[in-house]
Structure 1
Amino acid sequence: MKMFVLMLIFLYVSQHASAVDMDEGDHFLLPCEFPTFELDDPTVVWTRYDLSPSTVHQRQKKGDDLKNQNPLYRDRTSMRTDALETGDLSLNLTKLQLSDSGTYTCSITAARGEKRVTEVLLQVKERFPFWANVYQVLLVLLADLLLVTGGLLVHFRQYFMSVFQVEVDSGAESVLLPCKTTVCLPGDVKVKWRDRDGRTVHVYQKDSDKTGEQHRFYRGRTEMKRNLLKPGDFSLTLKYPTDRDRGTFICTVYNREGNQLMKKKVLLWVEVCQVEVEEGVESVQLPFRTTGDLPEDTEVQWRRKEPEPTIVVHKYQNGSDQPEEQNQFYRDRTEMKRNLLQTGDLSLILKNPKVRDTGEYVCGVYSRNIWRLKTVLLQVKDRIQDTDQTVDIRNRSSSTDPTPLMADQSV
């Protein structure tokens, strides 16, 4: 049975309520964000207090803890594997049912007792019968045909959701997500781009961008052409794409009554940045460039995901480096460029790279208005002096390295 979702979000911090209409009933993302990477031993719990047991999903640093999960949600919930490292604590709920309607609470607790709560009111309703949907579509088509030229066949084709695939290398300054039509549309349409999780990427209406509606993950990184209504070009430019931008983007065009005129999908694939270097070189750079003029309260944190638990490689906050937050293995071996907030160059310089530095590094950018992420895979290869050959250390036993990498207890 197909469903549609009406979601109301109440955030205690902003004390601002917003509503989102979703028409896909197969899964839904309940949003929750908080910088859990700043907390000691955090735990995230999604609950519904009208149920017993009330736990919908629980995540700790070591992974999911579902022993107390309500049976109604078994095998239907998931969170990002790096949720506690990135602060994206959203819960993905699949196979929506009418019984899923209710208030969901996202709670974050830590060793020092910090706590933040976000409530999401989820309402799942049965979709109209098939005959009612057909009748509604016919009425919309009939009304829009009075405004849109080109005939019924051309107009109906705009309702068909075409999928376009775009690939881009990591490090590109921008990528164009195409969305075009040859049909002449009214001059007062609203264009809305969303990502696969339903987050607002960009909104354009009445000859201007509605930046206040953007999700902070995309703030300052999107742009649409001016006078776009004349050529029917609703394409979106996404600046400095990273691997975290992968997925399906949806461009939807509405008339002033809110009826959908056109809907298109664009599948974006961004390669993960990979850096290879031989042990013994003076330094290696882990690249990350984004838009400049970042807010003064921006925190930049490079972390290494392997080995577990994740460790802090470099931290920049309050206008300066924070060496006391670093893992001891990286002390005096990292450096970031000057004026990084102004230039947007957040690359990390790692001095004297060693074989033990091989791994996955994630750079997080956080402020009240900005949230960005990038992954860099670093491969440091061993260099055998006698034969001057490079060998791949991925299949070598870790026992060959007598000095294990130790994680700070504070992480």
Structure 2
Amino acid sequence: MEFTWTPEQQDLRASTRRLLQQRAPLARARELAEAGTRHDPQLWTAMAQQIGLQGLALPEDHGGSGGSLVELAVVLDEMGRVLLGGPFLPTALAAEALVASGDDAAAGEHLPAIAEGERTATLAVAGPDGRWGAGNRTARGSGGDVRLTGTAELVLDGADADLVLVAAQGERGPSLYAVEPAADGLTAQRLDPLDLTRPLARLHLSDTPARLVGEDGGAGEVLERVRRTASILLAAEQVGAMSTLVDLTAEHARTRRAFGRPIGAFQGVKHRLADMAVRLEMSRSAAYWAAWQPPGSPEAALGAAVAGSYCSESFLQTAKDTIQLHGGTGFTWEHDAHLFLRRARADATLAGSPAEHRAALVPLVLPELAEVPA
């Protein structure tokens, strides 16, 4: 099958880009970051009411539009162009977890409000080592009387989200639990993030009341599916960010002059720009091929691993090249290249490092090696 953009997807991209250009240009991301502001509430409302972005990939019977991961990737691509942070990505991943859990009651309770832009959500799934899972968090009790204890690291929007989905060790294994932000025993410690556009928090749970989402012991498969989705969406976002970096650097090469001619005329600069453009196109292919695969399929697992491995490293190198090709200007705080470099560095911690993604590729492309004892 040949992948082509549908008219609806092209319209979605155009509408999203227009809204972000008007309400959230790159200068706005810097303004919010320097002010320490979580996000722009007016933009959040506009995304929900004008385009329906929060409910784009949610089931129609829960207030969503029933779109696919491709449409969501298009949106993240456009958000990456302007380094939009805030609650969109963590809310999208938490919503994916609710859908994947198969818990219709929990989905019916939370997804319609998420689709309307009335509620934000996040996942508390990282342990002290940054890996997704139950970590050191434990759950005791059953039914409506469950209590959580432990710590969750690197929680996106963790201090401000309206709903927190926590992975913890239940009686039958890793399980997913819904926790209200005002619950007793829940303390959010705001962190000083490397990526200033994305608020982070460390959550401390001490005998915190929670409610089971999905099956007891069923979080393993749910988290793996969501982690793959996170890898694909991050890759799409990185593609958008790289697009901006390539445009900024090419424009600088055309207008900055040295020895009487544009620096883009020098062979060394041309080669670096060509490398940046090649990385961008290969990243775009990897990200959208992964998003195009059926969720939960072996192809989706393969695509997520490839995208997570390649796009993250490509984004980081492209950000470094942008700073270097801008010369002394690129090294100053006033230039936006700093924000892109910080985003690139931070992205590698959110859904697994490139090395972890490459390790996940081994059993997918060379299954015979996975059977060899260590």
Q: What's the TM-score, normalizing by structure 2?
A: 0.24
**Which structure shows the higher helix fraction?**
2
Q: What's the TM-score, normalizing by structure 1?
A: 0.22
Could you say which structure has the larger radius of gyration? 1
